[in-house]
Amino acid sequence: EAGVTQFPSHSVIEKGQTVTLRCDPISGHDNLYWYRRVMGKEIKFLLHFVKESKQDESGMPNNRFLAERTGGTYSTLKVQPAELEDSGVYFCASSQAQLRDGYTFGSGTRLTVV
């Protein structure tokens, strides 16, 4: 089966610009998650979709971040306007229905804000 696909793999933008990250989960996985790792720190949870609904967005840092999952398939994460501290690696993951199931992570998008 195809894995979790993220696009782009790298993005370099200037402070104040907008960037949109995309994630295509494994087909049939209702659960989709966004995580990020900033400057060599821990990987932090951002939010969790179940199909098209936001189940938990407690990790979203502020209102400059907007995540969507229209139709319950792929998801986008938009940062507008980007700040320097947003630089890091953004990971997407998906899983099947049960809590005991593992996650499958994508390769990540490395975002650099200059």
> Considering the rule CB under 8 A, would residue 14 count as an interface residue with another protein?
no
Q: Judged by CB, which is closer to another protein: 87, or 107?
A: 107
By CB under 8 A, name the one of 44, 52, 64, 96 that touches another protein.
44
Tokens 């993005």 belong to residue: 11
By CB under 8 A, name the one of 12, 15, 43, 114 that touches another protein.
43
Question: Which residue, 73, 75, 80, 1, is CA-closest to 35?
Answer: 75
Determine if the peptide bond prior to 8 is cis (ω within 30°): yes
Contact 31, 49 (CB under 8 A): yes
> Considering the rule CB under 8 A, would residue 81 count as an interface residue with another protein?
no
Distance of alpha carbon 102 from alpha carbon 16, whole angstroms: 36
Which residues of the shown chain bind another protein in the complex (CB under 8 A)? Answer: 4, 6, 31, 33, 35, 40-45, 48, 55-56, 58-59, 91, 93, 95, 99-100, 102-108
